[in-house]
Amino acid sequence: MNLQIKKLYKSFDDIILFKDFDIDFSEHTISCILGPSGCGKTTLLNMISNTTQPDSGNFMGFNDKIISYIFQEPRLLPWKTVLENISFVLDDSLSKKEKDSIALKYSQLVELEKFNNYYPSKLSGGMKQRVAIARAFSYPSDIILMDEPLKALDLRLKMNLIKAFRRLWQMDKRTVIFVTHDIDEALLLGNDIYIFSKAPVEIKRKFVITEKERSLHAPSFLKLKNEIWEQMD
Amino acid sequence: MNIKLTKNKLITTLSVVLLIGIWKLVSLSYGSELILPPPESTLVATLKLFIAENFIATVGLTILRGLIGFAVSFILGIGLGILAGGNRSFHAFLKPILVTLRSTPVISFILLALIWFRVDMVPIFIAFLTMFPFICTNVIDGIKNVDRDLVEMANIYRVPHHKIIQKVYLPAIVPFIFSGASSAMGFGWRAIIIGEVLSQPQFGIGTAMQTAQTYLLVNEVIAWTIIAIMISSFFEMLLRRVERKIVVWR
């Protein structure tokens, strides 16, 4: 079954972000939400993760889902090492040994195994965000929410992280909802791309990308990029 | 960087030498041991104190009083600080008490304590009243400074409440506890000695200073002062060491 949000209403003070808003997300797919700053993309993620309450609306299929969240900032505990930060979110019913081996596996998958015992203060911004990605995947979630996690990084690091992310994602194809305002990120990562308008939000258009190999220089992608550009305010 | 470090050390040494030089000059100009003894005779007096009868009891009891006062302040300060940090109403209740304690002159506490308590208890009581507010206030600030984003992260990942307190809140306030403990100690030692001067317990640095002053043994008063400074710096250093051992993530 798909994840559906129906008749969503949400305002902050005088600003109406969502008014009778509907959206469907396919499961086991990376859905990208592209939209201007301040349109309510983050608020939507926060309502899905239950950290913000909607004024009203139905969230169908979300109830029993376990959620991982990759934030704009890495949000690592400064007093915990790379491995400890990953295992921090793991359930305490697991033994320490089991948690360690899970953390080890995911730190390897994001290529941080040489830094397992480093504290975040000793890591670069890209490395910290990789720890956050490893943490999100090591957590046995059904849905991964991402709020512009690549925003603060330079292009080369971005490409690196996108690669790392896709590699991890291929393993169990979890449902991902990824918010960004960067078209390239959406093209490289997304399967479904939703273009949001300014608040109150409407979906201006939905694109579906089926290609597995992504290149920003391929003619088909350049064409798509132009089409998306035209949709955005 | 190493050159800079040695340069700074040189300047520090220079400052100490200058201070002693001025001391020597002033004492020469008075020319009287009764008003200001020269540094060398003070040094001799300090060394003599170390081998004097009752030195261990005098210094030991002052330190013991300080440590008892500190331990009580530490435990209550952290306990009440955590409660106040987590609960607005309790903070509102505690705030006027903390403000009063911090702004009351130490001498008022001492004069009242002299009336209320046994002589031995006065310095401990003073130590507690001066140290407790520092530690408590710092713990409250520490909790207010806990990164809400980290707490939100932990909540989204359904980390249980007790684990959030233990692994997110507690480590976050550790540096605040140390800085509170350090200011508390700085003020505490001074307050204890004033308390001892006025309450005159059988043994104590304050008692010894008061006795020396009565007999116009100025070099001995300064010698005890030097010992008090040494005690204070020793504990400051100890705190820094422990902090470096615990706060390894910086």
Answer yes or no: are the C-beta atoms of A106 and A86 closer than 8 Å: yes
Locate A54 and state its tokens: 């909607």
CATH of the domain at A53: 3.40.50.300
Q: Does the distance separating the beta carbons of A69 and B156 come in below 8 Å?
A: yes
**Confidence grade of residue A114 (pLDDT, cut at 50, 70, 90):** very high
Best B152, B156, B163 residue to mutate vs chain A (most A CBs within 10 Å)? B156
Q: Does the distance separating the beta carbons of A77 and B168 come in below 8 Å?
A: yes
Range in A2-6, A101-105, A118-122 with the lowest mean pLDDT: A2-6
Number of domains in chain B: 2
Same domain, B160 and B207: yes
**Confidence grade of residue B158 (pLDDT, cut at 50, 70, 90):** very high
B82-101 pLDDT tens trace:
999 889 999 999 999 999 99
Give the pTM: 0.82
Same domain, A206 and A154: yes
Q: Average pLDDT, stretch B127-150?
A: 94
DSSP 8-state assignment for residue A115? G
Residue A106 has pLDDT above 70, yes or no: yes
Same domain, A171 and A220: yes
Same domain, B15 and B94: no
Best A75, A87, A99, A135 residue to mutate vs chain B (most B CBs within 10 Å)? A75
Same domain, B89 and B208: yes
What letters, b where the CB count within 10 A reaches 16 and e where it falls short, cover A29-45? bbbbbbbeeebbbbbbb
Same domain, A227 and A185: yes
Same domain, A123 and A218: no
Same domain, B22 and B43: no
The pLDDT, as a whole number, for residue A233 is 66
| Sign of torsion over alpha carbons A154, A155, A158, A159 | negative
Of the residues A84, A111, A141, which one is the last residue of a structural domain?
A141
Same domain, A166 and A57: yes
| Chain A residue numbers touching B153 (CB-CB < 8 A) | 69, 71, 75
Same domain, B73 and B178: yes
Q: Average pLDDT, stretch B132-155?
A: 94
Same domain, B2 and B48: no
**Confidence grade of residue A48 (pLDDT, cut at 50, 70, 90):** very high
Same domain, A129 and A156: no
Q: Does the distance separating the beta carbons of B159 and A89 come in below 8 Å?
A: yes
The pLDDT, as a whole number, for residue A45 is 94
Same domain, A162 and A231: yes
Q: Does the distance separating the beta carbons of A80 and B249 come in below 8 Å?
A: yes
Long-range own/partner contacts, residues A7-16 (CB < 8 A, 24 or more apart) = A7/A56, A7/A57, A7/A58, A8/A47, A8/A54, A8/A56, A8/A57, A8/A58, A9/A54, A9/A55, A9/A56, A9/A57, A10/A40, A10/A43, A10/A47, A10/A52, A10/A54, A10/A55, A10/A57, A11/A55, A12/A43, A15/A199, A16/A199, A16/A200
For chain A, count helices (H), then strands (E): 7, 9
Chain A: give the shortest CA distance to residue B158, in Å.
Answer: 8
CATH of the domain at B139: 1.10.3720.10
Which range marks the domain in which residue B46 is found? 37-246
Residue A90 has pLDDT above 70, yes or no: yes
Q: Does the distance separating the beta carbons of B167 and A77 come in below 8 Å?
A: yes
Q: Does the distance separating the beta carbons of B163 and A69 come in below 8 Å?
A: no
Which range marks the domain in which residue A116 is found? 76-141
Same domain, A173 and A207: yes
Same domain, A188 and A92: no
Same domain, A164 and A184: yes
Of the residues A113, A141, A169, which one is the last residue of a structural domain?
A141
The pLDDT, as a whole number, for residue B5 is 73
**Confidence grade of residue B27 (pLDDT, cut at 50, 70, 90):** very high
The pLDDT, as a whole number, for residue B2 is 63
Chain A: give the shortest CA distance to residue B152, in Å.
Answer: 8
Write down the residue that tokens 């206030």 correspond to: B137
Strands A30-34 vs A175-180: parallel, antiparallel or unpaired? parallel
Please name the residue of chain A whose CA is at the shortest distance from the CA of residue B158: A89
The pLDDT, as a whole number, for residue A38 is 79
Of the residues A108, A141, A174, which one is the last residue of a structural domain?
A141
Q: Do the domain assignments include residue A70?
A: no
Nearest-CB residue to B157 (from A92, A119, A139): A139
A198-215 pLDDT tens trace:
878 889 888 888 877 777
Chain B: give the shortest CA distance to residue A79, in Å.
Answer: 5
Best A42, A49, A67, A79 residue to mutate vs chain B (most B CBs within 10 Å)? A79
Q: Does the distance separating the beta carbons of B158 and A66 come in below 8 Å?
A: yes
Mean pLDDT of chain A: 90
The pLDDT, as a whole number, for residue A1 is 60
CB–CB contacts below 8 A, A to B? 46
Q: Do the domain assignments include residue A92?
A: yes
Q: Does the distance separating the beta carbons of B150 and A119 come in below 8 Å?
A: no
Residue A231 has pLDDT above 90, yes or no: no
Please name the residue of chain B whose CA is at the shortest distance from the CA of residue A82: B249
In chain A, the percentage of residues whose pLDDT exceeds 70 is 99
Range in A70-74, B31-35, B124-128, B202-206 with the lowest mean pLDDT: B31-35
Same domain, A148 and A166: yes
Same domain, A223 and A158: yes
Same domain, B210 and B152: yes
B178-198 pLDDT tens trace:
999 999 999 999 999 999 999
The pLDDT, as a whole number, for residue B174 is 94
Chain A: give the shortest CA distance to residue B63, in Å.
Answer: 33
Q: Does the distance separating the beta carbons of A78 and B249 come in below 8 Å?
A: yes
The pLDDT, as a whole number, for residue A163 is 86
Same domain, B120 and B216: yes
Strands A56-60 vs A3-12: parallel, antiparallel or unpaired? antiparallel
Q: Does the distance separating the beta carbons of B168 and A89 come in below 8 Å?
A: no
The pLDDT, as a whole number, for residue A223 is 84
Please name the residue of chain B whose CA is at the shortest distance from the CA of residue A121: B250
Same domain, B177 and B146: yes
For chain B, give the number of residues: 250
| A contact set with B (CB within 8 A) | 49-51, 66-69, 71, 73, 75, 77-80, 88-89, 92, 119-121, 135, 139
Q: Does the distance separating the beta carbons of B150 and A80 come in below 8 Å?
A: no
Chain A: give the shortest CA distance to residue B138, in Å.
Answer: 19
Residue A8 has pLDDT above 80, yes or no: yes
Same domain, B100 and B118: yes
A157-213 pLDDT tens trace:
888 889 888 888 998 899 999 999 888 889 888 999 999 988 788 898 888 888 777
